[in-house]
């Protein structure tokens, strides 16, 4: 004969729910990080800087 304690069962269920939420968050975070790293390119960014070269004659 098995005896079930309602308090222990409810605590176990809440712990399982918390663990599932944390795992889903971590999987989403890792997937987003990997997707972002694939999206990045190594091109130079346009900084809208203007460089002026002056021809100085002496």
pLDDT in tens, 23-54: 999 999 999 999 888 877 555 566 666 666 77
Predicted pLDDT of residue 51: 65
- Band (pLDDT 50/70/90 cuts) for residue 15 is very high
Residue 43 DSSP code: P
Provide the residue range defining the domain that includes 44: 1-58
Q: Quick check: 16 pLDDT over 70?
A: yes
Structure tokens that stand for 58 in this block: 């002496």
Output the CA–CA distances (angstroms, integers) from residue 50 to 7, 47, 56, in the order listed.
69, 9, 19
Task: Give the model's pLDDT for residue 37.
Answer: 83
Number of structural domains found in the chain: 1
Q: What is the pLDDT, as a whole number, of residue 18?
A: 98
pLDDT value at 1 more than 80: no
């Amino acid at each position: 004969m098995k005896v079930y304690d309602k308090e222990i069962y409810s605590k176990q269920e809440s712990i399982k729910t918390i663990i599932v939420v944390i795992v889903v968050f971590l999987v989403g975070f890792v997937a987003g990080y990997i997707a972002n790293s694939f999206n990045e390119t190594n091109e130079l960014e346009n900084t809208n800087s203007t460089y002026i070269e002056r021809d100085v004659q002496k």
